[in-house]
């Protein structure tokens, strides 16, 4: 699994079908990954915070990446890779910077 892979959530809650792996491959020996949940945009557009959340498409459907809900999860809950969000790298890094540094 590489950074920014979008994977199925094996421990799927009602509103989190996919997770985005934010962790660098340089620490892939760990049994956990830092991820953010993706939620369907139709249900959560009113919860979006500019510069902290962003929209992306997975399997032709719109999702919102909730970078504000970072979590370390065991790798065994990460399912099949369905895409990669490398093209959203700027938005992801900017959101993480804003959360941790305020800039």
Domains and CATH numbers, the chain: 5-101 (2.30.30.110)
Identify the pLDDT of residue 67.
97
Euclidean distance between CA atoms 94 and 61, whole angstroms: 23
Q: Residue 65 and residue 37: Cα distance in Å, rounded?
A: 6
Instruction: List, in sequence order, every residue forming a beta bridge with 63; answer none if it has no partner.
Output: 40, 56
Write down the pTM of the prediction.
Answer: 0.92
The set of residues, in sequence order, having a beta carbon less than 8 Å from that of 58 and lying 6+ positions away, is 6, 18, 38, 82, 83
pLDDT computed for residue 54 by the predictor: 93
Q: In degrees, to the nearest 5, what angle opens at C-alpha 49 toward C-alphas 88 and 12?
A: 70
Smallest CA-to-CA distance from 64 within 90, 78, 45, 91 is with: 45
Low-confidence ranges of the chain (pLDDT < 50): none
Q: What integer pLDDT is reported at residue 15 of this predicted model? A: 84
**Tens digit of each residue's pLDDT (9 = 90 or more) over 66-81:** 999 999 999 999 999 9
Specify the pLDDT at position 87. Answer: 96
CA dihedral 30, 32, 35, 37 (to 10 degrees): 160
Q: For residue 12, what pLDDT is reported?
A: 74
């Amino acid at each position: 699994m590489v950074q920014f892979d979008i994977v199925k959530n094996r421990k799927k809650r009602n509103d989190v079908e996919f997770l985005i792996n934010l962790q660098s491959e340089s620490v892939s020996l760990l049994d956990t990954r830092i991820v953010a949940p993706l939620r369907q945009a139709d249900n959560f557009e009113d919860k979006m915070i500019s510069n902290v959340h962003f929209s992306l498409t997975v399997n032709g459907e719109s999702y919102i990446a909730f970078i504000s809900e970072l979590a370390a999860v065991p790798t065994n809950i990460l399912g099949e890779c369905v895409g990669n969000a490398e093209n959203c790298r700027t938005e992801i890094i900017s959101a993480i910077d804003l959360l941790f540094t305020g800039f």
